[in-house]
Amino acid sequence: MVAVPKTAAVHRILTRYLVEVVERHELCPWARASREHGELAIGVLWGAPALEAWIAEARRLLASERIRVAMIVAPELAIDRAAFGALRDRVAARLPDAGVAEFHPVAPLDLGSPARLVPFLRRAPDPLLQLVPLTVLDAARAVPPPPVRADQAAMLGGHAAAPRADLATRIAVANHATVARTHAAIAAALDAIAADRDASYARAGITAASR
């Protein structure tokens, strides 16, 4: 059985990323509400998880109707961003009832366009998959107000909200403008969290993947 301190260390590092990067810079207004209202579920997979392990953990986390966002973290997984994207596609194909998006710790800053900035915005401390039930996405799209929350829900699930593409685009453009102004502070926070991760994981006995 995995020691609790290991899981606690992974949760703490992920929370730093959510609070100090995503929430502090308002990259996703929907994220804070999900975390503070107990609608966020976090799972940890050790070693190099097989596809079935990702699927099983996703189904376990999404089994509760209360959960609006699930994050599955693989702190010991050594995988490049392209391969992790391919893994995300395989997981998504097996979970037709959820939107799936991948986050990876290695992603350069590219301000060339809002779309090219997305990998940097998803530069989490560890490889992770984020899942949002399609029922949540559909409900968000079905209710006109508040438009920002609805489109953020769609973005969290890695889906383009077709009926609200204009609003989703505005959100992406707003994030692009925010990062253009604050990318040095965001990069510094990411680097500080990465350093904390390496030291904390070493103390906890986690075989952290190299970058």
* Domain extents in the chain: 4-199
Q: What are the Cα distances from residue 26, in Å, to 32, 74, 172? A: 9, 25, 12
Q: Note whether 210 and 10 are within 8 A (CB).
A: no
Which residues, 6+ apart, have CB-to-CB distance to 151 below 8 Å? 140, 161, 164, 167, 168, 171
Q: Where is average pLDDT lowest: 19-23, 57-61, 161-165?
A: 161-165
C-alpha 190/C-alpha 43 separation (Å) is 21
pLDDT in tens, 81-111: 999 999 999 999 999 999 899 999 999 999 9
pTM across the whole model: 0.83
* Phi and psi torsions of 16, nearest 5°: -60, -45
Helix residue spans in 44-159 (DSSP H): 51-61, 81-94, 114-121, 134-142, 147-156
**Average pLDDT score over residue span 59-73:** 94
Q: Which of 58 and 144 is assigned the larger pLDDT?
A: 58
Q: At residue 164, does pLDDT exceed 50?
A: no
Q: Which of 143 and 173 is assigned the larger pLDDT?
A: 173
**Average pLDDT score over residue span 117-144:** 80
Q: At residue 1, does pLDDT exceed 50?
A: no
pLDDT in tens, 183-200: 999 999 999 999 999 999
Other CB atoms within a 10 A radius of the CB of residue 45 amount to 21
Q: At residue 181, does pLDDT exceed 50?
A: yes
Q: What is the pLDDT of residue 79?
A: 96
The structure tokens listed for 188 are: 């510094």
Q: What is the pLDDT of residue 156?
A: 58
Q: Are strands 69-73 and 98-103 parallel, antiparallel or unpaired?
A: unpaired
